[in-house]
A and B are shown apart, each in its own frame.
Chain A
Amino acid sequence: MLNAPLDTVYTFETPEGVDLGLRIAGPVPRALAWAIDAAIRYAVVFALSLAIFSLAKLGFGIFLVVLFLLEWLYPVFFEVTRGATPGKKALGLVVLHDNGTPVGWTASLIRNLLRVVDFFPVLYATGLASVLINRQFKRLGDLAAGTLVVYADQGRTSVAPQAAEALPLPVAVSVDEQRALLDFAERSSALAPARVAELAQILTGENGAQAVHMVHGYACWLARGR
């Protein structure tokens, strides 16, 4: 049997003893992000080639330089200055060091220069194998540079809890349990009403609307006090 339940969260403990939970992104969103980036890059190259080839040899020279920069430095630039390339951003991904800090020039350069290795022999086959095998979904470039691709924490938009009369909690509850109570209040409008009632009944033992009202009251008490 397994020791820890399976999950995609990688926990890094900071020197201060704080556990950072990083939600690591797997191959499917990363492949899509790469596809978006590739589309952007080739669109730029195409537009540039239309504009610049009228300049004869100078144009060709500039074209080659831009091609080189786009191929090698496009991800580095965006990862260091914005945290993620536009493609990654579209999928809510961000590149971090193993310790959760934003990626720097060195690490970003290493992980992107090693794309050559990951690309071998065709279309990132090596990188794909590495991502499937590695526990933290790392390709070889990530392993060498010590970086992670994780989901950015956008923070769920907090919906105001249902208006209800605040009800003091009858027992002490842990932080996670408090969070569950608040989540219940925030999400109960998105869930099926029958399911909401069922969940509330599990907690309180009351029936139907009465139970839901009580749990909302607990949540209000946690959110606003009296």
Chain B
Amino acid sequence: MQLEQMAANVRYRTSWEGVDLGFVIARQWFMPLWGLWWLTALPITLLAVLLLHRSPLLVGLALWWCKPLYEPMLLFWLSRRLFGETLSWRELAGQWRTVLLPRLLANLSLWRLGGNRSLFLPVSQLERLHGAQRRKRIKVLGGGQSAGIWLTLVGANFEMIFGLGLLLLLLYLLPSQLLPEHPWLISGGDRPLLIWLANGFWLLAMSVIAPFYVAGGFALYLTRRSQLEAWDLELPFRHMAPRFRAARAAALVCCALLFMGLVPCGGARAAESGTPTVQAARSAADVTTGIGTEQVRSAIKQVLADPAFGKEKTEHYWKYIGAKRKPDEKKRLEPFAWIAAVAEVLKYLLWVAAAFALGWLLMYVAQLRAWLPRRRTTRAAPIATTLFGLPITPESLPDDVVGAIHALVEAGQLRAALSLLYRATLVRLMHDYHLRIPESATEGECQRLVRSQRSEPESAFFSQLTQAWTRCAYGHVMPTPANIALLTDSWRRYYEGGRDD
């Protein structure tokens, strides 16, 4: 057997890992193995269906019983493929007799239920052992592991799961109206379709699992042999051997020359033949200088004794370890002590909860207070006297605001007119309608306040006014006299009457 040519890695494996390796191998060559399985299984299936078509249960049983018949071909092909040789159909067909026949009768009769079928198949088929020799071999290979039997048992269960799974999947997918009308789907009757379906799915499941089962057994067989024969050691040994032999031969020559005194300097030769020889020479030199292990050890001890490598120091100090307990008193209370402790903890938890509740209540009240007295504080707070640098007091306004505006417009002082109008509006809002405008408010904020607290048309007017004023004040865009007249009219509508309030 050429271990170097094996497509699987040679290393030390447990038996379980051997089975797993078989699954990897089966996955690698699944399609050819699957095809090979059908090559022998399909004729048997047809034969069984032809002969036993009256009782589908027997067909299923027969197909299952004949499983040992389908497997040797797979093993034969795989054992060649794993070592790099692909068999053609013709070669397979030519050798079917030698592949199928060994132990076929035993496997189909007495040993059909044997647990290690796929593990022992290579013994009879590849090693071609029989009789006492085979028994001995099987005993060695089968010892020390249980993976072979479990592979068979679990494999059978996998088949069941797949077969049943496919069948159930089909039944799940059938429309529910179909089943009550066609009860023969479920219960036998004249045409036990269900059993035929089950047979079909079971056969399919067998075909899927068989490559894994055969490869698993074969890989387990290889693993067992590898364990027993240490293949994982043989490969590196073969790899090392040429170097070992060459080096030893060189060393022998070197030694011989040294002893004969022909070469004055052995070092040069050693350097030529590589470091290991130097190592060997060095160890030989150590032996000659006579420094023993004992001396080396004591030297090491001396070095380690140096404080630089750390030292031990003992320190004494007092440490409180608690008061001496009086066990008698404790013991008397012990059965109920934990209840008291729990009660104590609960008490503190209750206090904490109460504190939280109180805190929450206070915060709630504070929030209420923040909402409720808003109006009062509004009234109480001093009313702003200037806004954005403009004096906003009733006193700063002329008595007849509208007249004053007209006069200013006619005098051509449009900016002063607009300013007066704007200020008058703000004064009315603050003093007659109690709109609270903080001193820090901007024109935009005033606008927002008005929009939130005054009527829709009034706030529309106010925003028009604000826009005109900000354009004039900051953008130096003068309003037209007509525009001012329009705004004044609106103003009169909203605020002229309010003055009397």
Query: Which residues of chain A have a CB within 8 Å of any CB of chain B?
Result: 1-2, 5-9, 23-29, 31-32, 91-92, 121-126, 128-129, 132-133, 135, 137, 151, 156, 168-173, 176-177, 180, 183-184, 187, 191-192, 195, 199, 202-205, 226
Contact = CB atoms under 8 A, between A and B. Distances in A.
Residue among B24, B84, B216 facing the most chain A CB atoms (10 A cut-off): B24
Given A1-B84, A26-B19, A203-B240, A133 B27 contact: yes
B241 A203 contact: yes
Contact of B11 (A7, A27, A195): A7
Residue among A151, A203, A226 facing the most chain B CB atoms (10 A cut-off): A203
Contacts of A9: 9
A7 B9 contact: yes
Contact of A27 (B9, B158, B229, B230): B158
Interface string B11-37: 110101101110111011000000000
A184 B84 CA distance: 28
A172 B274 contact: yes
Contact of B236 (A1, A177, A187, A204): A177
Nearest to B280: A168
Contacts of A125: 161-162, 164-166
A172 B16 contact: no
A126 B166 CA distance: 10
A128 B161 contact: yes
B60 to A, nearest CB: 18
A6 B20 contact: no
A29 B155 CA distance: 11
A132 B7 CA distance: 20
B42 interface: no
A5 B8 contact: yes
B247 interface: yes
Contacts of B11: 7
A123 B11 CA distance: 34
Nearest to A131: B23
Given A6-B28, A168-B283, 11 more contacts: A5-B6, A6-B25, A28-B154, A29-B20, A122-B165, A151-B16, A171-B240, A192-B229, A202-B234, A202-B241, A205-B245
A172 to B, nearest CB: 5
Nearest to B251: A170
Given A6-B7, A121-B169, A32 B154 contact: yes
Contacts of B24: 6-8, 26
Residue among B9, B233, B276, B277 facing the most chain A CB atoms (10 A cut-off): B233
A25 B16 contact: yes
A226 B23 contact: no
A203 B154 CA distance: 42
Residue among A123, A133, A135 facing the most chain B CB atoms (10 A cut-off): A123
Interface in B350-372: none
A91 B234 contact: no
Task: Give the contact-size bracket for chain B.
Answer: 35 or more
Contacts of A128: 158, 161-162
Contacts of A183: 12, 230, 232-233
B299 interface: no
A195 B229 CA distance: 7
A177 B17 CA distance: 23
B248 interface: yes
Nearest to A127: B161
Interface string B232-270: 111011111101111110010000000000000000000
Contacts of B158: 27, 31, 128
B303 interface: no
B244 A170 contact: yes
B333 interface: no
Interface string B147-177: 1001100110110011011101100100000
Nearest to B160: A123
B293 interface: yes
Contacts of A31: 154, 157-158
A126 B239 CA distance: 45
19 contacts: A6-B25, A7-B11, A9-B9, A25-B16, A26-B19, A28-B155, A31-B154, A123-B164, A125-B166, A132-B23, A170-B247, A171-B240, A180-B232, A183-B230, A183-B233, A195-B230, A199-B233, A202-B234, A205-B245
Nearest to A124: B161
Contacts of A133: 27
Given A7-B11, A8-B17, A173-B240, A28 B283 contact: no
B380 interface: no
A132 B212 CA distance: 9
A177 B239 contact: yes
Nearest to B283: A168
Question: Which 8 pairs between the two chains have the least Cβ-Cβ distance?
Answer: A125-B165, A26-B20, A170-B247, A7-B9, A180-B236, A5-B9, A171-B247, A6-B8
B236 A170 contact: no
A184 B230 contact: yes
B279 interface: yes
A61 B340 CA distance: 31
Interface string B265-302: 00000000011110110010010000001000000000
Contacts of A32: 150, 154
Given A128-B158, A151-B16, A2 B7 contact: yes
B21 to A, nearest CB: 6
B140 to A, nearest CB: 9
A23 B19 CA distance: 13
Nearest to A31: B154
Given A6-B9, A121-B169, A28 B147 contact: yes
Nearest to B10: A5
A199 B274 contact: no
Given A170-B244, A205-B245, A180 B16 contact: no
